[in-house]
Structure 1
Amino acid sequence: MATKGLDSVVRSVFDALFRPHRFVEFQTSTYASTRGEVVRQAGSLFGVYLVNLMAYAIPLTLAGIGVQQSGQPPAGYATAAARYGVAPTASWQLLTAFVLNSLYITVAAAVTLLTFHAGLVLARGSRGIVQSAHTVVYTTSAYLAAVFSGVWYLTTGQGVSGARELVRNLQAAFVYAIIDRLGADLELPGGRPGTVAVESISPTGQWVLALLALALCYYLVSLYFGARVNHLASKGSATLAVCAVVLSPVVYVAASVLAVTIGVA
């Protein structure tokens, strides 16, 4: 039994790295045809997502990512924790960090599912929400989780300050491009991004940046394969679905800029 489980893990890792079209593939012969089957398959996918989410968020939390040392537990939680011999402050800080680490990727997964499925529906290439959910659960829990982990490493790691500055500047440049396009009179707290000298990026930082780019490419390509394999979508419909996901940050930032501009006005 244990050997079979290990073989499954090894096969999944192999597929994720070398056969992403197989990694995201759902069994088309078992697609839900009734409401009960939809609920059953959705529940199964939710269970897979929870397991993968814990495998992603627990190591990050134990590594101290997102832990706020100043966080104090509510009185009710402190009382309950003390009753069971658990350190209230430390456990509360770990719990809140776990929730935050889980929330970031969960929101990203939800946005991916919404935009990916909407793109397929608009292109008339959708065969159902379950197929989209299967694709998104596997792409986000593998490739997008890798992207998030790399970003967290750049945020907190030692010896990668040049790569960290480059990523921050790219993010700021992206936001400023939308601000300028909309003609909004807004400034980010850090101001406009400068230039980062290539020689300031350490070999470790270069490796992290390369792996980030690779994971992002895997993420987008796997979404394309998910549309093609699970929805039997045409190349055009699959491309439109991926474009919808890619454009979602643009829509979010543009909406945020307009909201702030209107609020200031």
Structure 2
Amino acid sequence: MQASNVAGGALSWNSLSRLKSLLVVFLANVVLYATPLTLSGYGVAVETRAPSWFVPIANATLGDPVTAWRLFAGIAQNSAFLIALSAVTLLTYHLALVVTRSSEGLLLTVHTVVYSVSAYLAGIFTVLVFLSRAPGFETARSLVVDLQVQFIAVFYDLFSVPESRRVFSVDEPVSLVQLTSNETAILAVLIALVLYFVYSMYLGARLNHGAGVTSAALSLLAVGLSPAVYVAILLVYSIGGVTL
């Protein structure tokens, strides 16, 4: 009995230690990729002033406190966005595995999501940073932004968000015929990264959890719905409820 308790305690300690390591890897990757994302201009604009305690520190070490505060606050906002979306992905993915009775524990789900998301972030934000800075990719850049706005606009209409409270507005759709061969190639890279992410999550369900094909497919469906769940939660929170 005592030996069993000791073994169980060791297993729990090892699990917690492994979970801690995974979270450190994940948070490090989030900050690592949120930083160039912020420097490239992606993210929510920071309009708050630098707090009084930050000004002397910035003046002594970083230079302009306003610029430094905007940078740090932007990194924090982008990091929060990535963490929240990853959390929704984790929950929907694991819930699908639990419902289909394929789950072998939350730790294995965290392992799958952390490494899949980290690799995906590395690729996707490298491409986005490139698109934001490289000349000659204006159409591809506009298309990527337009697709995101169109996606969010669906939920604006679904939740009857008034025009005055909509952060994004839908412009004329970008014509695909305007894409150059280089722009088509970079968009193909984006598609390949999405397919890699999907495949790695599928393998995680199959190999880490021993899920069958159907269970793994359902877990992917849940992952595919996670951006919709995330945007819906944000809109409900921002408008203070649902207008029916």
| TM-score (ref. length: structure 2) | 0.77
Per-residue CA deviation, residues 221-246 of structure 1 (Å, 9 max, x unaligned), is 10000111111111111111111010
Q: 1:192 to 1:261 in 2, by over 3 A?
A: farther
Partner of 2:216: 238
CA contact (8 A) 1:119 1:244 kept: yes
- CA displacement at 1:42 relative to structure 2: 0.4
Per-residue CA deviation, residues 151-198 of structure 1 (Å, 9 max, x unaligned), is 454456543222233233333443455666x59586566655544323
Unaligned 5+ residue runs, structure 2? 1-8
Match of 1:251 among 214, 221, 229: 229
Q: 1:61 to 1:166 in 2, by over 3 A?
A: closer
Q: Does 1:228 align with 2:206?
A: yes
Q: Does 1:198 align with 2:149?
A: no
Q: Does 1:78 align with 2:55?
A: yes
- CA displacement at 1:56 relative to structure 2: 2.0
Indicate the percent of aligned positions where both proteins have the same amino acid: 35
Partner of 2:4: none
Match of 1:121 among 70, 93, 98: 98
CA RMSD for the aligned pairs? Answer: 3.3
Unaligned 5+ residue runs, structure 1? 1-31
Partner of 1:23: none
CA distance in 1 between partners of 2:184 and 2:12 (Å): 49
Superposition map of 1:1-265 within 5 A: 34-62=11-39, 65-66=42-43, 72-82=49-59, 84-87=60-63, 88-155=65-132, 157-177=134-154, 182=158, 184=160, 192=170, 194-254=172-232, 260=239
Q: 1:104 to 1:145 in 2, by over 3 A?
A: farther
Partner of 2:5: none
CA distance in 1 between partners of 2:120 and 2:155 (Å): 27
Q: 1:206 to 1:33 in 2, by over 3 A?
A: farther
Moved more, 46-55 or 211-220: 46-55
Task: Please tell me the residue identity of whatever aligns with 2:116.
Answer: T
Moved more, 99-108 or 153-162: 153-162
CA distance in 2 between partners of 1:199 and 1:141 (Å): 33
Partner of 2:3: none
| TM-score (ref. length: structure 1) | 0.72
Q: 1:261 to 1:233 in 2, by over 3 A?
A: same
